[in-house]
Amino acid sequence: MSKSLVIVESPAKAKTIENYLGKGYEVLASVGHIIDLPEKKLGVDVENDFAPSYEVISGKEKVVASLKRAANSADIIYLASDPDREGEAIAWHIQEQIKDKKKPIHRVQFNEITKQGIKDGIEHPGKVNINRVDAQQSRRILDRLVGYQISPLLWKTLKYGLSAGRVQSVALRMVCEREAEIEKFVTEESWSVDGIFDVFDGSKRKGSLKAALDKEIVGSKEVKVEFKSEADADLAIKSLDGAAFNITDVEKKSVKSSAPVPFVTARLQQEAIRKLGFTAKRAMAVAQQLYEGVNLGDGPSGLITYMRTDSTRIAPEAAEAAIKYVGAVYGKEFLPKSKRVAKTAKGAQDAHEAIRPTVIDRTPESVKQYLSPEQYKLYKLIWERFIASQMADALYEQTTVLIKGGKYIFRASGRVMVFAGYTTLYTESADEDAKAEDNSSLLNVSTNNSLN
């Protein structure tokens, strides 16, 4: 029986994958990078096309030796580091260390750490993507050039030990330039005027309505009002003293709120910060745990797909499973009228799927007992977002009321939910903020109603 060696980054992931592959496979972890630029010198030949000079990372000698021994006794080697540019570089570095063993070496990628995901990866091996490796090398070399040449300047002028990075240095410049623009900005006053109107149906009071002074009638035109001082606002208020107010127009229309697309990395971090109080770093650390595998009683299993992605694309079978779940749990009225096809943002690499649960039927509550509080909260966020992405849009009736008084026109608007759609399960934090500001209890007024 042939023996296969699978090399991954994380020891936790190694245990999960070995559990799925079974006999005939040995799974070892590199524990991240094994090769890097030297610690105490530049390590980049600026006179020779910026060629890097790599060496085994201090403390990783035993890991490298262990990988070489395992490679020596294996018949086939699979490099299964993470499916991103850092993972590609790790795979390349490992390949360079063991290629003298004259064994078949394959690059495999696992988008999800499930039995099917591992099987698909092993059955569709490829080669190390040197373009992705070059991208990582360029990033690392730039980090080193900036860090070694700019950091000493910080030591002289600010504090010894500070580090300059290729991203932080440029970002700091942008912040400084923006701050300079802010300091140059000349502030201008701006005032608004709101009116609180009692609404009557005949002699019966229906309630009150808040509206903002929006336009001024100048001749035959309606001009947007801008009050530059308190005095201007006071003049408008005084001119309305004793004026008669009438509802001149009530417009009602149906509007929809589209279901959110599945999470990409940046959006997951934003929502985790706003909804869960996580830091971006903490959100990614917990997501890594969910991706690598959690013991659900019968062994470790990955709960989400790879968490570093800029794509909203999802596998057709995952979409079908979500739609089936929505129809069974919420009813056919909560299914979208047409198949959802998320548009990938311009410039996205689209190398991996969006972040989604690997098994739809693993609801947050069904696995809660196996998760830490943080894991549960983040998994629930990811699961609900994905299911919601395959649900029907939310529908609202939006009402706009125009009120004329003197030479001014006031405007009030609000919306009332007609059909909850995806919001039954999930609302984005931005939608929650808008909901808090909505005049959702806007009166059912008409031009026949009188005001006071």
Contact 214, 224 (CB under 8 A): yes
Query: What's the Rg (C-alpha) of the chain?
Result: 30
Q: What is the dihedral of CA 161, 162, 167, 168, to 10 degrees?
A: 160
> What DSSP letter does each residue of 347-387 carry, written as one string?
T----SPPB-BS-TT--HHHHGGGS-HHHHHHHHHHHHHHH
Burial class (CB in 10 A: 0-12, 13-18, 19+), 437: exposed
Structure tokens at 382: 């990811």
136: enclosing H helix or E strand = helix 130-157
Beta bridge partners of 201: 204
Distance of CA 327 to CAs 171, 263, 367, Å? 47, 22, 22
Q: How far is CA 58 from the centre of its chain?
A: 35
Nearest to 325 by CA among 393, 258, 390, 257: 390
Q: Which one, of 449, 443, 448, lies nearest residue 211 by Cα?
A: 443
CA distance linking residue 86 with residue 82, whole number of Å: 7
170, amino acid identity: V
3-state DSSP assignment of residue 293: coil
The one catalytic residue among 20, 25, 78, 306: 306
**Can 306 be counted among the known catalytic residues?**
yes
Instruction: Tell me the catalytic residues.
Output: 306
